[in-house]
Every structure is written in structure tokens, then in C-alpha cells.
Amino acid sequence: MPSRYYVHRDDNDEDERKRKREGQEGYIYFHKSRGQHILTNPRVLDSIVRRAEIRPTDTVLEIGPGTGNLTLKLLEVAEKVFAVEIDKRMVEVLNNRVAECGLEDRLTVICKDALKMDFPPFDLIVANIPYGISSPLIAKLVFGAYPFRSATLLLQKEFARRLLANPGDSAFNRLAVNVKLVAEVEFVMDVSKKDFIPCPKVDSSVVKIWPKTKVPDVDMHEWWAFTRTCFNKKNKTLGATFKQKKKVVELLRRSQMMDSLKDHVATRYNYDDYDDKEEQEEQSDGEHCFPSPCSEKDLVSFKEMIAEVLKAGGFEAKRPSKLSIEELLHLLSLLNQAGIYFNDRTKGKDVSNEGFVASYSS
């Protein structure tokens, strides 16, 4: 990439001077707070494109193209590239660079927020994702209505480690559980922080995600709410988690509500119960819709029923961080069969997915 497009942020005292220079020809100011770290190593760029396995007939979606280093590589091998960039300054640089190479007829730049727009049809995703939107963007891709062959993504190394984690790993969490329910995730390579301008504080990793051809037959909204409960304190035993009075009261009220809805038309569900902050205290939803307060007798009886389900299934002393997806699916099935539900089904489904994506944003 021509060096005239770069302004390094090596010293905070020079920030104001660099902003002033941005108006001059050939300079652009990168905002670290927006995750604007431009990958500059041509060998790494070539490796990402090669591992993406792009066909000559493919349409590629790129999120956060920045000044176009990766975009130009994609245009060399793909039939069409959709590049989604929210920064108008970057859009201008990107369009100019592509025009200089005579490839503008194969590129469509969309100046919008990737989390708030409907994506055009595409075959593959290849992107250096801004760190701040990694979680909600991956959630939008794997749980959204966007059929695609694979996603080759450059992510913050720690985030990638969490995404790749397996049961028993210290990094295994709700993010990994939910993504791996519907997709396969593979490590591709590590990328040094020195390969970016401006240089971030941490290294990065490239991962590849493939949607599964067969997805378990489970109510996704119920699954999200269930894993949120289990992984709120992932290293706590399930027996201890389901002894908490606040949680028992919430589940009892939902159970009572489900009983009252059995003879009615099936209700629609929402995405609002999904939150990847596993250490954050869960907040109950829709309590204003619950029936009258439950009695102490009902509460004790319901608590004992949950304990019996856990004990009968052999889950009482187990911890969510050690359970496989198959074991978690089995536990959810046992609880649902006993009339224990996790999702608030009184709310309408957010068909646009916006509520779900927003709940995954920090």
C-alpha cells in the first residue's frame, strides 16, 4: 500500500498535530478507539486470501475494509466484493485506490454500520474485523439468515482463543458454546501486532468458521436463555446455580406462565435474552408480565423438582465449563420436559435480529 495513506500514532502528544495534517493530501488519521488497525504485511494478507479458498465465481463480503489492503487482494481472485465501511474517510481512500487499479466495477462499497444493516447475498466473508464489534458481528453471521460457505476472520488473539475453546479449557465460555452449536471453528494462524498500523496492544489470530449442515433441533431462544443462566457462573456446580432463590423464583414464574399459555396459540419468541458477558449478573426479563407472586410452598416444591431433575440426569455436581454441547442439550431437554423454561415467551420475536445483536454489544 502507498505510504502516503498512513499516519502513525506512536505518541499521544502528537495526536492533535496529526489530526491537523489529515486535511492535507495523502494523510489519514486512524482512530484506535474505533478499532482502526490496518493490516500491512503483504505475506499475511496473501495467506488470509489463500486460506479463504475463494473461487473465481464467488461474491465476498468484507467488514471494515479500511484503506483497502485486503480488499485489493480479494478483488484479484473474487468475482465481486461487497465492502462495508462506516468511516466515510476510509470509503474515499478505498474507492480511489480501487479506481487506480481499474477494479471499481467489481467492488461495491457500502457506507453503513455492519450491525444495523441487511447484508447483500454473498458466498464468503473475509475480514479484518474491528475488535469492538467482534462478538455481535459473529453472532449476527452465525445466527442470522445469511447462508454462506465460510468466514475467514482476523480477530484479537484472546477473543479467538475463547472462540476456539473446548469443554474443560479455562477459556471455554458461553460464546464458544453458542457458536459451536451451529458452526465449526478452526484456527488458521497468529498475526503479530507489529503487522498493523497503528500498532495495537495485543496480537491477533485468524480463524475460519463453517456453518454446520445439520443443526440440533432446539429452540434457539430457549437455548440462549439456558446457556446464559448456566454460564453466568460457569465454574459453579449446576446444583448450586439452581439453588439461588432469585433464579428459582424467576424460573417458577416462567413455568406458571407457560402453563397458562398451553391452551393458546403458540407465541413468538425474542432474541433479547442473549448476552455474552458471562461474568455479568443476569437480569430477569419481563417480570411485569408474570402472574401473582408465588407462595413459599410453591417455591420449595419447584426447587426440589429442579434438584431431582439434576440428580436424575447426573448433573447436580457438574459444572457448565466442563460439559459438552451434547450434554447441555440433554440437560435442557430434561428441564423442559419437567416444565422448566428459561426464555420469556410472552414477548414478540424480533424478526429483524436487531435486538439479539444489540444484546451482544458491549
Annotated ligand binding at 8? The verdict is no
Query: Grid coordinates standing for 14?
Result: 502528537
Annotated ligand binding at 85? The verdict is yes
Annotated ligand binding at 132? The verdict is no
Annotated ligand binding at 288? The verdict is no
Residue 167 CB partners (closer than 8 Å, separation 6+) = 321, 322, 323, 324
Q: Is 137 exposed, middle or buried (0-12, 13-18, 19+ CB in 10 A)?
A: buried
309 touches 335 (CB < 8 A): yes
The whole-angstrom separation of Cα 306 and Cα 196 is 51
In 3D space, the residue among 29, 38, 71 whose CA is nearest the CA of residue 54 turns out to be: 71
81 touches 71 (CB < 8 A): yes
Element (H, E) at 197: strand 196-197
Annotated ligand binding at 316? The verdict is no
Helix axes of 174-182 and 325-337: crossing angle, nearest 10 degrees: 90
Dihedral, CA atoms, 319, 321, 325, 329, nearest 10 degrees? 30
Annotated ligand binding at 39? The verdict is yes
**Which residues line the annotated binding site?**
37, 39, 64, 85, 113, 128
**Which residues line the annotated binding site for S-adenosyl-L-methionine?**
37, 39, 64, 85, 113, 128
